[in-house]
Amino acid sequence: MKRSNNSIWGFIRKEFFHIFRDKKTLLLIFGLPVAQLLLFGFVVTNEIKDAKIAVFDQSKDYLSLQLVNKLVSSGYFILSDNLSNASQIDEVLKAGKAQLVVSIQPNFAAEFQKQGVASVQLNADASEPNTASILTAYASAIISDFAAENSGMPQQTLVSVQSRMLYNPDLKSVFMFVPGTMALILMLITAMMTSISIAREKEMGTMEVLLVSPLKPWQIVLGKVFPYIGLGFANALLIIILGYFVFMLPMRGSMVLLLLVTLLFIILALSLGILISTVSKTQQVAMFLSMFALLLPTILLSGFIFPIENMPVPLQWLSLIMPPRWFISALKTIMIKGEGLAFVYKEILVMLGMTIAFLSLSIKKFKIRL
């Protein structure tokens, strides 16, 4: 037993030498998460903030001015233009000077007082459909709010929809992107790095020498994987800290549970990386396989960017076998909803099952010869 321990420690030591001497890759491993997180957190966002609107106020009375004030003071909109005739609506939208035009009917206050009904028209630039629908929804909400405040006759309101956004009342997209980025980074770094590092041994011919040694396949695999568990974990911590301090991500659930789930996902990603390495002969093949087999499905099918519920049914089934889907789901449940083990046990079981499947498959596929 002592002998095999020695072999493994020697192997792990060697693996750390490889990692720490390759400064460029090391920089990539720790620079990538920061860059990705900042990118996804700040750039790729579907929140509305400071959208430009133009107002075509045909009434210009106290009430219409109040309405415009309310819209602008909401923080979602800035007033870019006051229009004086209807033909300008098209103009400002086409020129991109405004994303939304609010037209207020003539005699707005008078009509409202008299009949309790007044009309406001919203014209949005729907060349960006998502933005347009969010903008109109925000504006309508503000307007109905305004109407209710000023009518003093709540029974007049025919339908009143009250929606409450739970857990993420401001609909902050960061809440979505941080768990997603974490899954992406951990997948990339751990799976890709292990698969490349095993493929490198094959390419450089060192695997030939390792094979003609008493090392058993599981020893080689364990020696390869161990350092990357550490690296992956360090990365996960980095992302959690960034998410917490830079993006104010809540940490409502148990930290221990979160870290355990993260560790499980790292091991899962590693076992996938090993599986990839058993079928790739060169570093390049390993890299491409990791890219296509891991990166794209992580982004597209895990619910990271596109909600799983909106996918066609066959793709929803496909997403079931995507490891990041389960990790992201567990992460959100723990961090944002603050639930405990009882609500993530399914995710944990699925990930555990996948890990065992991948690991046993790779040890079986690991060639003990050339």
Partner 1 sequence: MSYGQTRALKGATFAVDEGELFGLIGPDGAGKTTLIRILASLLVPSGGSATMCGADVVRDYQAIRQMVGYMPGRFSLYQDLTVRENLEFFASVFGTTVEQNYRLIEDIYKMLEPFANRPAGKLSGGMKQKLALSCALIHKPKVLLLDEPTTGVDAVSRKEFWTMLRKLKNEGITMLVSTPYMDEAAQCDRIALIQNGDILQIVSPKQIVDSYAYDLFGIESKRPNAVIKALRADSRFQSSFLFGHEVHLSVEMRSIAVDAVERYLLENGIETIAVRRISPTIEDCFMSLMEHNNAIG
Residues at the site binding partner 1, with contacts judged by CB under 8 A: 3-4, 6-7, 9-11, 13-14, 17-18, 21-22, 204-206, 208-215, 368-370
Instruction: Pick the closer one to partner 1 by CB: 98 or 221.
Output: 221
Structure letter (DSSP) for residue 65: H
The kind and range of the H/E element at 195 are: helix 193-204
Closest listed residue to residue 57, CA positions, set 91, 75, 81, 77? 81
To partner 1, the closest distance from the beta carbon of 190 in angstroms equals 21
C-alpha–C-alpha distance, residues 265 and 268, integer Å: 5
To partner 1, the closest distance from the beta carbon of 268 in angstroms equals 28
Instruction: Pick the closer one to partner 1 by CB: 217 or 250.
Output: 217
Cβ-defined contacts of 285-291 (< 8 Å, 24+): 285/199, 286/192, 286/195, 286/196, 286/198, 286/199, 287/192, 287/195, 287/196, 289/195, 290/188, 290/191, 290/192, 290/195, 290/196, 291/192
Side chain identity at 21, as an amino acid letter? R
Instruction: Pick the closer one to partner 1 by CB: 13 or 114.
Output: 13
To partner 1, the closest distance from the beta carbon of 18 in angstroms equals 6
Residue with tokens 């996960």: 236
Instruction: Pick the closer one to partner 1 by CB: 215 or 246.
Output: 215
To partner 1, the closest distance from the beta carbon of 24 in angstroms equals 12
Instruction: Pick the closer one to partner 1 by CB: 278 or 319.
Output: 278
Instruction: Pick the closer one to partner 1 by CB: 133 or 213.
Output: 213
Distances (CA, A) of 324 to 68, 122, 295, 351: 45, 40, 10, 9
Cβ-defined contacts of 357-360 (< 8 Å, 24+): 358/268, 358/271, 358/272, 358/274, 358/275, 359/271, 359/274
Instruction: Pick the closer one to partner 1 by CB: 196 or 242.
Output: 196
Helix and strand tally (H, E) in the chain?
16, 4
To partner 1, the closest distance from the beta carbon of 26 in angstroms equals 13
To partner 1, the closest distance from the beta carbon of 340 in angstroms equals 44
User: Maximum distance among all alpha carbons in the chain?
Assistant: 94
To partner 1, the closest distance from the beta carbon of 199 in angstroms equals 15
Instruction: Pick the closer one to partner 1 by CB: 16 or 138.
Output: 16
To partner 1, the closest distance from the beta carbon of 206 in angstroms equals 5
Closest listed residue to residue 91, CA positions, set 129, 59, 133, 123? 123
How are beta strands 77-82 and 51-57 bridged, if at all? parallel
